[in-house]
Structure 1
Amino acid sequence: MRRLLKLFWFVLAVLFLVEAWLWDRLAPVIAAIVRLLPWVAWKATVAAAVERLPPLAAAALFAVPAGLLLPVKFLALWLFAQEHWISAVALLVLAKILGLGVTAFLFDLCRDKLLLLPWFAWVYVRVLALRDWAHRETEPARRAIRAAAAGMRRRLGLDGRLRRRLVLLRLRARRFGRAT
């Protein structure tokens, strides 16, 4: 039973870290997409409107992405019921990524207002603590995975070439993000 409970907490920590990783990665992507689209005036209007909102209204703003994506999730459930597995999974993944990205964008705009709410500040501190716990909980497994991956790259002779390609790809992505 103890092993099962430990496995449960480990899986929960991994799921939380996946969500946090997506959040961290999607916020800049959504920001870059917003910069690419001819919505600069729209973004400025949204930012100005959020600035005028009271903190509680800014918190309510987070219900908007969830409410808008709920019909999409119901459609995905219907697709599951119709045994269209690939379409259903693709739709759920798309809804998850879109919802996380939009929520991250809104959070970036509303963070200062939201932290004025005592209950939100309390939850925010707890979520950050939970994130730290999840990192500590999964560190041994992540270390083992990194070591195994490094060994695999060495055995395949990809270590130097792969690393150079990844560094170049990161540099290009950073330049693209700054240029837009």
Structure 2
Amino acid sequence: MGGRLAGLLRRFLLRPLLTVAALGYFLIDAVALEALRPLAAWIGRQRFAERLAARIRRLGPYPTLALFVVPLVVLEPLKPVGLYLMGTGHAVQGALLLGAVELVKVTLVERLFHIGKDKLLTIPAFAWCYVQVVRWLAWLTALPPWQAAKRVVGRVRTTIRPALEVVRGWARTLRGRLRAVSKRG
């Protein structure tokens, strides 16, 4: 009877809780990725990043895997620490830690993955894991809560787009004025 109760608890309580936790975790990742993608793209266009990418492309599959996995192993455990800090009354420190981890992860790990994806997929275990993650993400993003969140994000993006254009205009004007001042000086 105890084994049956444990199975029911796992099935009807633990599994849904873990699914909700995973959804929240991936939602935070997805939002951070979208927010930081322009910065990551800008960093990727810088000369030092292009030279580094060329060096990485010359590596074999397993050194590329090490470059990809080591930052993940270091960064991912810091996310729950940030959430813990936020939950224990240290909201600013927790948010700063989460922000820094996401910034480094998006700019470093995402870039490493895209640079070395073809080599990484030649490693059978990595390719299998990649297929499983892609399938799981496809299932996750097809769920109604995800679709609802996506619609809300789209509406928010549409709403704030005019304000972002104004800020971008100010930034272009400021850059132009700073260039003019630096040329005079």
With normalisation by structure 1, the TM-score equals 0.61
Aligned counterpart in structure 2 of residue 88 of structure 1, from 62, 74, 93: 93
CA contact (8 A) 2:56 2:115 kept: yes
The letter of the residue matching 2:53 is A
1:128 maps to which residue? 134
1:26 maps to which residue? 36
- Counterparts of 2:21 and 2:73, CA distance in 1: 28
Q: 1:10 to 1:95 in 2, by over 3 A?
A: same
CA contact (8 A) 1:17 1:135 kept: no
- Counterparts of 1:67 and 1:7, CA distance in 2: 24
User: Where do 5+ consecutive residues of structure 1 fail to align?
Assistant: 150-158
- Counterparts of 2:161 and 2:75, CA distance in 1: 34
Q: 1:67 to 1:125 in 2, by over 3 A?
A: closer
Aligned counterpart in structure 2 of residue 52 of structure 1, from 50, 58, 80: 58
CA contact (8 A) 2:140 2:146 kept: no
- Counterparts of 1:63 and 1:167, CA distance in 2: 39
- Counterparts of 2:100 and 2:130, CA distance in 1: 24
Figure out how many residues of one structure are paired with residues of the other and give that number: 150
CA RMSD of aligned residues (A): 3.9
- Counterparts of 1:120 and 1:61, CA distance in 2: 14
1:71-114 deviation per Cα after TM superposition (whole angstroms, max 9, x unaligned): xx5xx78xx5xx88134303321332123211111111111111
1:115 maps to which residue? 121
2:19 maps to which residue? 9
Q: 1:132 to 1:66 in 2, by over 3 A?
A: closer
- Counterparts of 1:135 and 1:113, CA distance in 2: 27
Helix, strand or coil for the counterpart of 1:116?
A: coil
Aligned-pair CA distance for 1:53: 0.3
Rg comparison, structure with higher value:
2
User: Where do 5+ consecutive residues of structure 2 fail to align?
Assistant: 1-8, 172-185
The structure showing larger relative contact order (alpha-carbon pairs under 8 Å, at least 6 residues apart) is 1
1:109-167 deviation per Cα after TM superposition (whole angstroms, max 9, x unaligned): 11111111111111111110110121233x1x3455678x6xxxxxxxxx8xx846536
Aligned-pair CA distance for 1:12: 2.0
With normalisation by structure 2, the TM-score equals 0.60
